[in-house]
Structure 1
Amino acid sequence: MRSLRNQLVLALCVLVSVVGVVQGISSYQLSRAGMSALLDLRLEQAATRLYSSGLADSLPTIAARGSQPEGDIVVTIWKEGVTSPYRSTEPSLALPRDAEPGFATRSVNGENWRIYTLREPSMVIQVAQRSRVRHELTEARSMNTLWPMIVLVPLVWIAVLLVVRRALRRLTSLGAQVQAIDPTHFKTLSTSGVPTEIRPFIASINMMIERLAQSIETERKFIADAAHELRTPITALQLQADNLQPHIAPGNRERFGELQSGITRSGRLIAQLLRLARADAALQPDTLTRVDVSKVVVEVVAEVLPIAMKRGIDIGAEEMTSAHVRANEADIGIALRNLVSNAIRYTPDGGKVDLSVHLRDSMVWIEVVDTGPGIDEALLPRVFDRFFRANTQTEGSGLGLSIVQAIVNRYDGMASLRNRDDGQTGIVASVGFIAVP
């Protein structure tokens, strides 16, 4: 019931149902009252017609007892000075002669009767009808007034559901747009076709998106500027260290080597920050080309092959389906290079790294499978976070997979990392890009 649509539908359906029930009861009661008044009018008109037209004398003097159907009215005529009925359509029915003029309900022969008495100087005319018959007629006619309501209320329920769904369709579309927002795709929401009541809310979201985009852009520029500014002094330090190396005393060479390693790590970190800033930058359509994914895989394998051979790691490609994507070839290479470098870094000497390219669901998938130790399942959701390292014992900056995720987001692709489930330890790293002919 937290759904706004469900709440609106339920509230409107309950309201319609209450109105329908009240209307049905009102119609039923009004119909009963109207039908009863109509039957009374029938009795009164019959008595008046008998007197005014002189039809009273045309009634049979002695009618057959029990000859009238139960649904008919009964007429009894009394004359002054005569104790027995002058005329009667049902002699066995002893209507009360002393009844007051007008309408009365009396019990006669164990049954309730509705009686109309017309008193004139020369005669008394009584017209009666069984109350049971009147009740049956009234109920039958009154129930007919309920059928339209019984049919219409469910139809109104359906109409309410359709109207609410249509009214909230725009909100569903806006929700999809909000879900599509990520650090590489900041786009304000359109207010076209949005109800007036929701526009202030949409305007607030757009202001938040603009502030967030500005904040991300500021952070991106800071990272890029800082990396650029730091690259020059780090390069100078590296050159000075290389020039100083021949003059280092033998006793200080170990500590000097640690200094060089630190400078090298700093240089790598700065290079990774630059790559991350470029990956986060807005995509330029004029830089996109038709990229042969298999060719990029071969080039990356060729680059890391010397490192793999030095450690005895068997690296190769199992399945190489011919596939193409529309992207910047350098971006695809960087993403794949980071995945392969991670696989080699965490795979023990003598291990194995396999690459494959295949098509699935209009996507080109590149998989890198290693025989490393794998990652704790609890840590897998965080592997794409910036500066997060699942294994702190191995050297790294914690930015490699973040760069992969940023590149994948630029092209509306997907990236995943999972432990192998084929009985061996290791990681299956996958990136998917939209395939093009």
Structure 2
Amino acid sequence: MNPSFSSAFARYSMRPSLRNNLIIALAVLVSVVAIAQSVSTYQLCRTGMSALLDLRLEQVAMRMRGDLADAIPSAPARGSQPSRDIVITIRKPGANVPLRSTEPSLSLPASAPAGFSSEMVNGERWRIYTLRRDASVIQVAQRSSVRNELVRETALTTLWPTLILLPLVLLAVVVIVHRTLRRLTPLGQAAQSIDAAHLNPLPVTGVPGEVLPFVESINRMIERLAQVIESEREFIADAAHELRTPLTALQLQADNLQPHIVAGNQERFQELRNGIARSGMLIGQLLRLARADAPLDAAIEPADVSSIVVDAVSGVLPIAAARGIDIGADAMLADKVVASRADVAIAVKNLVSNAVRYTPDGGTIDLQMRREANALWIEVTDTGPGIAEESLPRVFDRFFRANSSTQVDVEGTGLGLSIVKAITAKYGGQAVIRNRHDGRSGIVAAVSFPLASV
């Protein structure tokens, strides 16, 4: 498994989840309530069933006071009564032998107290109801094991509704929590789309009241951030405009002075002119960066990327030919993108010029276009020295320059790739720089823009 993927998964798995916390808390609460209710119902059912069986013994004893006692045979066969039936014994006071009994082999204790009692008879525990009258003693008994079995079977039937309903309730908890928090999904997607080029406030429509203060605070932060970025952009644009005029004047004065510079100072004078030219180049880059950071125009005419790629290659072809660099474009597509032609041209030109600048003489540069999902990608692959892996994450930082052997900035200002990144981000695209992994040195620089609907 990819180590970076593993570490990302580990971080995600360790991240607390509001949805999971709610589901676990509610599931535990419902389970505890269900278990408590089941235990309570089970105990109440056992108590009620025991009372019902006792009532049955008492009622039978009461009926034996009348003529029903004569229905009991005076000499029944021993062991003929089923074990689950109740046993009835009628005896005269002080007599050792029962007058009548449904099970002669069972000698119920005549000394049992009136009412209910539990006695050991023949090695078994019995529940006995004793009714004493002047002329007789009536005892009705039932095995405690039979009673316990009846009570247990009846009480267990009360647990089935809980066993069936508990999973359904837990499923309902999961569904309800998921549907409730799903309302926050569009909010998360809107927050994820926020960047320096898209500082739109988060929507507050339909946001739960508990989350609304948090969303409003984020919107206020976005508003402050947008003001700071706009102030920065305006400062860069104003400063570049203000500096362009005096630098242009310096360039003109240097051109006018060149014939009057003595031969011994020509080399130093040329260094001065080159410094002025680099300053002018930096100001131009700053202006392009300010335009790239500017808000998106409401109406954008789709741009034909194939013609932009052809123009970019044509612009560097003389330099490439002079250095023996083989440059060409494959897989040209007729698709258009939702972006300004001027911005797309700047981004592609920067990548192509960058490749020409750092591809050694006799090298190769390939341009390719491809569709992926709803985006059009333009890739520039060269055979240059490549980029140090530790520098790759910073190549799009403003004013960042790698070492001279792997420097990727088109004009040495540290702003070329920042401009490319700003342009693609403004239109919802991407900019990617990676080293080649096909056994050759060099980089693959790619930009994407959203495809225009046909």
- Give the TM-score band, short-chain normalised: over 0.9
Q: Which moved more, 1:404-413 or 1:189-198?
A: 189-198
Counting only pairs closer than 5 Å after superposition, residues 109-120 of structure 1 correspond to structure 2 as 109-120=122-133
Aligned partner of 1:207 in structure 2 is 220
Aligned partner of 2:435 in structure 1 is 419
Tell me by how many angstroms 1:361 deviates.
2.7
SS in 1 for 2:334: coil
Residue 47 (1) aligns with residue 61 (2): yes
Aligned partner of 1:353 in structure 2 is 365
Contact 1:31 1:142 in 2 (8 A): yes
RMSD: 1.6
Aligned partner of 1:153 in structure 2 is 166
Tell me by how many angstroms 1:120 deviates.
1.3
Q: TM-score, normalised by structure 2?
A: 0.92
Select 1:312's aligned residue among 306, 324, 328.
Answer: 324
CA distance in structure 2 between the partners assigned to 1:254 and 1:245 by the alignment: 11
Aligned residues: 435
Deviations 1:221-272 (A, max 9, x none): 1111111111111111111111111111111111111111111011011001
**Aligned AA (2:238):** D
Deviations 1:344-379 (A, max 9, x none): 111123322222223333322211111111101111
**Aligned AA (1:160):** V
The 1:80/1:423 distance shift into structure 2, 3 A limit, reads closer
Aligned partner of 1:20 in structure 2 is 34
Aligned partner of 2:6 in structure 1 is none
SS in 1 for 2:80: coil
Aligned partner of 2:291 in structure 1 is 278
Q: TM-score, normalised by structure 1?
A: 0.96
**Aligned AA (2:424):** V
Aligned partner of 1:390 in structure 2 is 402
Tell me by how many angstroms 1:392 deviates.
4.0
Contact 1:311 1:349 in 2 (8 A): yes
Tell me by how many angstroms 1:294 deviates.
1.0
**Aligned AA (1:134):** R
Residue 98 (1) aligns with residue 111 (2): yes
Tell me by how many angstroms 1:108 deviates.
0.7
Deviations 1:385-433 (A, max 9, x none): 1111123466601111111111111221121111112222111111112
SS in 1 for 2:338: strand
**Aligned AA (1:350):** G
Residue 330 (1) aligns with residue 342 (2): yes
Aligned partner of 1:410 in structure 2 is 426
Select 1:3's aligned residue among 6, 9, 17.
Answer: 17
Counting only pairs closer than 5 Å after superposition, residues 63-212 of structure 1 correspond to structure 2 as 63-80=76-93, 82-212=95-225
Select 2:46's aligned residue among 5, 24, 32.
Answer: 32
SS in 1 for 2:331: strand
Q: Which moved more, 1:333-342 or 1:171-180?
A: 171-180
CA distance in structure 2 between the partners assigned to 1:229 and 1:24 by the alignment: 82
Aligned partner of 1:260 in structure 2 is 273
Tell me by how many angstroms 1:327 deviates.
2.0
**Aligned AA (1:122):** A
Tell me by how many angstroms 1:58 deviates.
2.7
CA distance in structure 1 between the partners assigned to 2:25 and 2:369 by the alignment: 54
SS in 1 for 2:81: coil
CA distance in structure 1 between the partners assigned to 2:24 and 2:375 by the alignment: 42
Tell me by how many angstroms 1:159 deviates.
1.4
Contact 1:275 1:403 in 2 (8 A): yes
CA distance in structure 1 between the partners assigned to 2:346 and 2:76 by the alignment: 114
Select 1:430's aligned residue among 427, 446, 452.
Answer: 446
Aligned partner of 1:289 in structure 2 is 301
CA distance in structure 2 between the partners assigned to 1:403 and 1:81 by the alignment: 116
Unmatched tracts of structure 1, length 5 or more: none
CA distance in structure 2 between the partners assigned to 1:110 and 1:418 by the alignment: 88
Aligned partner of 1:299 in structure 2 is 311
Q: Which moved more, 1:122-131 or 1:389-398?
A: 389-398
The 1:73/1:244 distance shift into structure 2, 3 A limit, reads same
SS in 2 for 1:214: helix
Tell me by how many angstroms 1:190 deviates.
1.7
